[in-house]
Amino acid sequence: MLSPHASPYRAPAWLPGGHLQTIYANLFIRVPPVVYRRERLELPDGDFLDFDWVDGQPGTLKDSDPLRTKVRVESYVPVVVLIHGLEGSADSHYARGLMAHVRAQGWHGVVAHFRGCSGEDNRLPRAYFAGDSEDIERMLRHVKTRHPDVPLYAVGVSLGGNALLKWLGEQGESAKALVKCAAGVSAPLDLTAAGHTLDRGFNRRVYTARFLLTLKAKALRKATRFPGVLDAKAIAAATTFREFDTLVTALLHGFRDAEDYWLRVSSKPLLKSIAVPTLVINAKNDPFLPAWALPTAADVSLAVTLEQPDTGGHVAFPSGPFPGRLDWLSQRLMQHFNNRAW
Residue 304 CA: distances (Å) to CA of 132, 280, 296, 317 = 21, 7, 11, 21
Nearest to 286 by CA among 215, 214, 190, 212: 190
Identified catalytic residue from 108, 286, 319, 327: 286
Identified catalytic residue from 158, 186, 266, 319: 158
**Residue 75 annotated to the active site:** no
**CB contact at 8 A, 169 and 270:** yes
**CB contact at 8 A, 168 and 182:** yes
Q: Is 7 helix (H, G, I), strand (E, B) or coil?
A: coil
DSSP class of residue 325? B
**Residue 50 annotated to the active site:** no
Indicate the Cα dihedral angle 136, 36, 109, 50, nearest 10°: 10
Identify the helix (H) or strand (E) that includes residue 194: helix 191-198
User: CA 8 to CA 6: how far, in whole Å?
Assistant: 6
The answer for residues whose C-beta is within 8 angstroms of residue 26's C-beta and 6 or more apart is 93, 315, 316
**CB contact at 8 A, 156 and 98:** no
Identified catalytic residue from 50, 314, 319, 336: 314
**Residue 158 annotated to the active site:** yes
Backbone angles phi, psi at 108, to 5 degrees: -85, 145
DSSP 113-167: PPTT-SSS--SSS----TT-HHHHHHHHHHHHHHSTTS-EEEEEETHHHHHHHHH
Percent helix, strand, coil in the chain, to 5, is 40, 15, 45
Q: Annotated catalytic sites, by residue?
A: 158, 286, 314
